[in-house]
């Protein structure tokens, strides 16, 4: 049986090597032929079209005789429920089984037919993951709001000190593009539209464009 491995992490600070090692060991024990490994650091909430490892994997499957895609957990396929289900549907159409190791689930049976129970479980797992992420975001937002309210009540000023001022060298380094556009004679509003830098900040850069 020819298989591919799919691994993903969300940030540069995370490592996907553990996923690859664990899945490779499993495939070796099962006697699978690992044809290719697809791994990337990208947010699982992005659309499939914005995830190169997904698009490359689907293209590879089209061009090669692949029987199964192995992932460590359903969230590695994607955190966006709709996008993840799209990938599963595309695999089903090609008679390629998705194997989810941490739950020992396979989307197709031995005859290549869709397993309806697995499909239901995948949808539930993806939705539970989405609910957990939303709950975490709400808690973080609530905690931040409570902290800001507490600081205001106690008279604690937020943000940088009023006396904070960047050095000229720091300004030149950070706003090189804006200074270059000023030297080219573009207006404040034009530079604001191109860079998103506030007009007030751009005004402060005039002295560097002389």
If one compares 12 and 57, the residue with the highest pLDDT of the two is: 57
Which residues lie below 8 Å from residue 192, measured CB to CB, with a gap of 6+?
198, 199, 202
Domain range 2-128, CATH architecture: 3-Layer(aba) Sandwich (3.40)
- pLDDT tens, residue by residue, 26-36: 999 999 999 99
Instruction: Give the pLDDT score at 44.
Output: 46
Residues 86, 55: contact at Cβ < 8 Å? no
Q: What whole-number distance in Å separates Cα of residue 148 and Cα of residue 127?
A: 32
Instruction: Give the pLDDT score at 13.
Output: 44
Instruction: Give the pLDDT score at 43.
Output: 52
- Return residue ranges of the chain for CATH 3.40.50.1390: 2-128
Q: What whole-number distance in Å separates Cα of residue 73 and Cα of residue 24?
A: 14
Instruction: Give the pLDDT score at 169.
Output: 83
- Distances 108 to 2, 46, 76 between C-alpha atoms, Å: 15, 26, 19
Residues 118, 107: contact at Cβ < 8 Å? yes
- pLDDT tens, residue by residue, 107-143: 998 888 999 998 899 889 888 877 776 777 677 777 7
């Amino acid at each position: 049986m020819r298989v591919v491995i799919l691994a993903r992490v969300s940030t540069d600070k995370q490592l996907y090597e553990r996923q690859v090692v664990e899945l490779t060991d499993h495939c070796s024990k099962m006697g699978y032929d690992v044809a290719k490994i697809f791994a990337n650091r990208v947010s699982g909430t992005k659309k499939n079209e914005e995830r190169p490892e997904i698009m490359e994997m689907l293209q590879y499957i089209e061009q090669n005789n692949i029987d199964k895609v192995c992932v460590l957990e359903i969230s590695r396929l994607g955190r966006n429920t709709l996008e993840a289900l799209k990938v599963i549907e595309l695999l089903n159409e090609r008679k390629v089984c998705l194997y989810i190791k941490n739950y020992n689930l396979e989307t197709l049976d031995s005859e290549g037919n869709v397993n309806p129970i697995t499909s239901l479980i995948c949808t539930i797992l993806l939705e539970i993951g989405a609910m957990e992420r939303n709950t975490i975001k709400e808690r973080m937002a609530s905690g931040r709001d409570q902290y800001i309210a507490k600081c205001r009540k106690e008279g604690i000023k937020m943000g940088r000190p009023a006396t904070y001022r960047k050095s000229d060298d720091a300004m030149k380094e950070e706003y090189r593009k804006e200074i270059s556009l000023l030297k080219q004679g573009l207006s404040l509003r034009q530079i604001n539209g191109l860079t998103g830098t506030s007009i007030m900040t751009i005004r402060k850069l005039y002295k560097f464009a002389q």
